[in-house]
Amino acid sequence: MPDAVATLRMLCGTRTLHVCPVVSDPLSTRLAAQAGLPCALLGGFGVSAIGYALPDAGLITFTDMLEHVRNAAAAAPGFPFIADGDTGYGNAMNVYRTVAEYARAGAAGILIEDQVWPKKCGHYGGAREVIPAGEARMKIRAAVDARKERDIVIMARTDARGGRGFDEAMARCRAFVEEGADIVFIEALQSVDEMRTFASSFPTTLANMMPKTPVVPFDEMQSMGYRFVTYNVALAAAAQAMRTAFAALASGDHDALPPLMPFDELTTLVGLADYTRAEQRYRIAE
């Protein structure tokens, strides 16, 4: 079985742009792995939505998220995903514990951000409030120290662009890299020029194709120097398909159902064949 952390580190070191879609649960993590994608991001937005039908607004806890990390890792062994660690759920000491526990749970990487708690999705309306730069730097220092216990890729995110400006966001990323962050990420960049400047200033960067950020073609982002790009499309696609399916059932119009995965494929996806083989192995002879 491939080492997920080693694989993610290898991706960080290439000069290729890698698609890193957002996944929300064990099933979508397995589907991303089966699709041949190189990696994924287990995002708090989707965990809040799929797991609890709640907004991404600091309503899920460290233990909530840790359980999802563990289950996603079990669903797709060896597949490298970066798990959303939000703000680390407290101060630098909490960050240390969060990073260490995510690594033990099977995440190949962890995202730590500098918002004030309770944090919110960076693409909700308005600017996000961030903690002081020095405190943010110490959180990344703690994250880097924690990976000495068990290796994990550290992605440091800043939400300073919206409320404090592009220069402040860049300064924070420089500090994060100095502390040893493997990947840096400015949330909600507001122009193509900002995207280009950011990507060309650091060795390993991520772009998030969400509403506040301009949609840039894949080839152009690669030429800018990005190493990862994430698309949060699977959750929206699944939610729309479920809404359409339920509306069709409610109206009695079965012809309006969206395309369905064949039942045999669905049972294969969730591992029924493996279960059946194991069941036969442990059957007591009569």
Q: Quick: pLDDT tens for 31-65.
A: 999 999 999 999 999 999 999 999 999 999 999 99
Percent of the chain clearing pLDDT 90 (strictly above): 92
Q: Quick: pLDDT tens for 239-279.
A: 999 999 999 999 999 999 999 999 999 999 999 999 999 99
Q: Is the dihedral of CA 154, 63, 123, 130 positive or negative?
A: negative
**pLDDT reading at 285 higher than 80:** no
**pLDDT reading at 105 higher than 80:** yes
Say if CB 52 and CB 36 are below 8 A apart. Answer: no
pLDDT band, residue 120 (cuts 50/70/90): confident
Q: Give the pLDDT confidence score for residue 243 in this predicted structure.
A: 97
Tokens of 57: 């607004």
Q: Give the pLDDT confidence score for residue 147 in this predicted structure.
A: 96
The half-sphere exposure of 206 on its side-chain side, counting CA atoms within 13 A, is: 28
Q: Strand pairing of 206-209 and 183-186?
A: unpaired
**pLDDT reading at 16 higher than 80:** yes
Q: Give the residue-averaged pLDDT of 118-135.
A: 90
**pLDDT reading at 30 higher than 80:** yes
pLDDT band, residue 284 (cuts 50/70/90): confident
- Average model confidence (pLDDT) across the chain: 95
Q: Give the residue-averaged pLDDT of 222-231.
A: 96
pLDDT band, residue 211 (cuts 50/70/90): confident
Q: Quick: pLDDT tens for 150-167.
A: 999 999 999 999 999 999
**Helix spans in 160-281 (H):** 160-164, 166-179, 192-201, 218-224, 234-251, 263-269, 272-281
Find the helix or strand (DSSP H, E) in which 40 lies.
Answer: strand 40-42
What residues have CB less than 8 Å from 26, skipping those under 6 apart?
A: 68, 71, 72, 74, 75, 76
Cα separation, 209 vs 232, in Å, equals 7
Task: Give all domains of the chain, ordered by start, each with its CATH number.
Answer: 4-239 (3.20.20.60)
Q: How far apart are the first and last CA of the chain?
A: 37
Q: Give the pLDDT confidence score for residue 164 in this predicted structure.
A: 95
**pLDDT reading at 122 higher than 90:** no
Q: Give the residue-averaged pLDDT of 211-226.
A: 92
Q: Give the pLDDT confidence score for residue 113 in this predicted structure.
A: 97
